[in-house]
Amino acid sequence: MSKFAVVATYEITPDQIAVLLPLLRAHRDRCLRDEPGTLRFDILRPQAQLMLYEVYENEAALGRHRSGASLAQFMEEAAHVKRSLTFISCALVD
């Protein structure tokens, strides 16, 4: 089975980065600790953006992440943060 990656970009105002970043860090830590198959979860910071690079053992692990408690918690905690999100899911090429 092929590993899957997600590249996500949050377009966000600079003042909201300080609000969203600790929530993303907590989400990352929970995912790496509690979600089997989550292999990597990096947070990147270009200007006026936050980017995520996540790698999952397989498509099933990505599905568990998307329906998991940590993502639900993050979405609830970050509901007040103004942001837009684009993401791409893809298979990793060996």
Q: What is the pTM of this model?
A: 0.88
Antiparallel, parallel or unpaired: β 4-11 and 49-56:
antiparallel
pLDDT digits (tens, 9 = 90+) for 46-92: 877 899 999 999 999 999 999 999 999 999 999 999 889 998 999 88
What Rg do the C-alpha atoms of the chain give, in angstroms? 13
Domains of the chain, first to last:
4-91 (3.30.70.100)
Residue 74 φ/ψ, nearest 5 degrees: -60, -45
